[in-house]
Structure 1
Amino acid sequence: MSTLTGPQLKVLLAPVSPQRVSAFRGLAHMEAWDIRRQLIRVFGFGGYSIRTLALDLVAEHSEQLRKKDDDGRPYGDSYTAWTVVYRAQVRLTVYATDGRRLGSWDDGAVGDAAHQPSHGDAHDMALKTALSQALKRCATNLGDQFGLSLYDDGSRGAVVRWSAAHPPRTDAATTSSSPADLNADPPVRPEPTSPQPAEATRAGRDTVAEHPASPNGDAVAREAALAGMWDAARQIQFAADLPTQFADTFGHPVAEGTTSEFQQARALMLGGAVA
């Protein structure tokens, strides 16, 4: 059976970089694109494969909505708002440097897109979210570099640390941990649970009244944060992809974003990670 190389073990047994982890709806979160980047870094180009085992439309419905002004009064013509839910099952397989299979893992997830004015965008967002979440769940079987430690109450510290199947070598992981340290682990903390969903914000209500209050309570801060986010996107030549990535990350379009979300997206982009 093929084994992992020393450099691969060194990376896999290291704790995840805090810069790769962000907060999303109160939980520690890693981006699907970053998981793919780390798969390439550890296993190489062509060193892994992702297979979609199932992708099913779970639910789809529409309703007629109208935009609202700052006082909450509806105005304009009604439009059709779409909500779509997909369920995906994915298989992740990784290979040794000689091309032989090291292992594969299956997992699934559900993704949704709520109250979208475009029928096509609703389907696109929901299915991509389901596929991305399923991939991330598969990848946690590869340890801390792929988000396993985050299940320990959001910890960024290594929870694997050593593997009896891969004893340390001079060219492998430099760690003092060993099977003799079985009782040295801190108490296991419960897995984070998803926060209770707030009442869904409907697409098209791009007014101050429909957003949580900004720190100074006015619309100027939100507009400034929005402009700053777009400036950051243009700086890293990401403006074309920002709307889709923003929706994938925060669960709603840019038009429904809040001051804090725009600020977080800007900080992540300028820090080298896209919101």
Structure 2
Amino acid sequence: MLATTTKLARKLRPRGFLRKQIRQLLKPIAPERVMRDGKGHSHITQQDNLAHLNRVFGFGNWDTDLLRLDLVFEQERTDKPGRWDVCYRAVVRLTVKDPYGNVMCHYENGTAETAQNQTRGDAHELAMKSAISVATKRASIPLGDQFGLSLYNKGQTSALVDGTLVWPDPTPEEIAAHQAAQAGGTASEEPEDIQANVPQQVSLGYDETDRPLNADTGPSLLSRIIVAISGATSLDQMTAIGNQIDAEIAAGHVSKADEQAIGAVFMPKRELLLAVRDTAHRANQVAQAAEPMKAGV
């Protein structure tokens, strides 16, 4: 009698986005994530784009490949020796994975960006970084409204993609969570919007449609920071501005003199907003204390 072998059935690896990921992708973009330039054009910042890839897909479940990075031209200015105009072209591929590490899709896009009237090193750095950042943002757009697709429809922030015919089957964990919610009387298919608590975005860098890369045109970095501080109306906005200032300082884009100038504007504005908050808090406490007295009259 021939010996027989029995192969154990290998458990299939799960594949696909979670239902809560699809529901998030179908939500309209939060207005706080949208930036507008002086011409009214809408866009999201490069840092928000990267942050939202992490929010929706998770750390390690997406990556980018720089397919091409070409120097288009570099030219020294004849009217200003030592100042340069430089242009780079970049093509980026964005790869998105499901929570189980399976590659789900690839998106590719590119752009050419120019930095003008800079020192030679700064011109290369600014043009190269801008080309890579903008190409990455554009490669993310096919992921839908959460990544700025609706903004191409004249700045529309309501959902452009409000449904899909393709839905993943619920995972055992999702089924268990739904059954537990039903038993507790709180069943809901709608998860918390992960962009709901994102503070108002502030553009201090070289974002698409909002980045004059010419040292002679548009406001300087110092001017943009001071304008952003002056326009802040909440402590959350000041926190976001402070974080970006720290990033600019760490990158070496802010001189000591400019850092002192920023501090001279930032700290008084923050103290003012703190005072406004504390005054409102005290007024609320007084109003609450007065309620029992009114009830007893």
Q: What TM-score do you get using the length of structure 1 for normalisation?
A: 0.62
Residues 243 and 25 (structure 1), Cα distance of their counterparts in 2 relative to 1, 3 Å cut: farther
Total equivalences in the alignment: 203
Residues 124 and 105 (structure 1), Cα distance of their counterparts in 2 relative to 1, 3 Å cut: same
Counterparts in 2 of 1:167-246, with a 5 A limit?
A: 203=215, 225=226, 228=229, 236-242=242-248
Q: Deviations over 1:94-127 (max 9, x none)?
A: 00111101101111111111111x2111111101
- 2:127 aligns with 126
Counterparts in 2 of 1:6-25, with a 5 A limit?
A: 6-25=19-38
Residues 224 and 241 (structure 1), Cα distance of their counterparts in 2 relative to 1, 3 Å cut: closer
How far apart are the structure 2 equivalents of 1:19 and 1:60? 37
Partner SS, residue 245 of structure 2: coil
**Among candidates 28, 31, 53, match of residue 45 of structure 2:** 31
How far apart are the structure 2 equivalents of 1:235 and 1:149? 26
**Among candidates 65, 73, 86, match of residue 51 of structure 1:** 65
Question: Displacement of 1:161 after TM fit?
Answer: 0.8
Give the conservation status (yes or no) of the 8 Å contact 1:149–1:156.
yes
Residues 202 and 79 (structure 1), Cα distance of their counterparts in 2 relative to 1, 3 Å cut: farther
- 2:162 aligns with 161
**Among candidates 102, 106, 109, match of residue 108 of structure 2:** 106
Code of the aligned partner of 1:139: S
- 2:150 aligns with 149
Give the conservation status (yes or no) of the 8 Å contact 2:19–2:167.
no
- Identical columns (%): 33
Question: Displacement of 1:2 after TM fit?
Answer: 2.3
Code of the aligned partner of 1:4: F
Give the conservation status (yes or no) of the 8 Å contact 1:233–1:242.
no
How far apart are the structure 2 equivalents of 1:223 and 1:58? 29
How far apart are the structure 1 equivalents of 2:167 and 2:91? 30
Residues 34 and 225 (structure 1), Cα distance of their counterparts in 2 relative to 1, 3 Å cut: closer
Code of the aligned partner of 2:34: V
Q: What TM-score do you get using the length of structure 2 for normalisation?
A: 0.57
Q: Deviations over 1:47-70 (max 9, x none)?
A: 1010000000011111154xxxxx
Residues 143 and 226 (structure 1), Cα distance of their counterparts in 2 relative to 1, 3 Å cut: closer
How far apart are the structure 2 equivalents of 1:159 and 1:227? 30
Residues 122 and 233 (structure 1), Cα distance of their counterparts in 2 relative to 1, 3 Å cut: farther
How far apart are the structure 2 equivalents of 1:244 and 1:24? 25
Code of the aligned partner of 1:145: Q
Code of the aligned partner of 1:137: R
How far apart are the structure 2 equivalents of 1:85 and 1:244? 25
Code of the aligned partner of 1:36: L
CA-based RMSD of the aligned residues comes to: 4.1
Give the conservation status (yes or no) of the 8 Å contact 2:21–2:57.
yes
Question: Displacement of 1:79 after TM fit?
Answer: 4.6
- 1:73 aligns with none
Code of the aligned partner of 1:14: K
Residues 130 and 43 (structure 1), Cα distance of their counterparts in 2 relative to 1, 3 Å cut: same
Code of the aligned partner of 1:106: E
- 1:136 aligns with 137
Residues 85 and 131 (structure 1), Cα distance of their counterparts in 2 relative to 1, 3 Å cut: same
Question: Displacement of 1:4 after TM fit?
Answer: 1.4
Partner SS, residue 135 of structure 2: helix
**Structure 1 stretches of 5 or more lacking a match?**
66-77, 175-193, 213-221, 248-254, 256-261, 271-275
Q: Deviations over 1:21-67 (max 9, x none)?
A: 111242101111111101001110101010000000011111154xx
Code of the aligned partner of 1:58: V
The structure having more radius of gyration, on CA atoms, is: 2
Residues 64 and 173 (structure 1), Cα distance of their counterparts in 2 relative to 1, 3 Å cut: farther
Asked if 1:2 corresponds to 2:19, the answer is no
Q: Deviations over 1:197-254 (max 9, x none)?
A: xxx8963x6xxxx879xxxxxxxxx79946946x958972443533799x9xxxxxxx
Counterparts in 2 of 1:75-94, with a 5 A limit?
A: 79-94=81-96
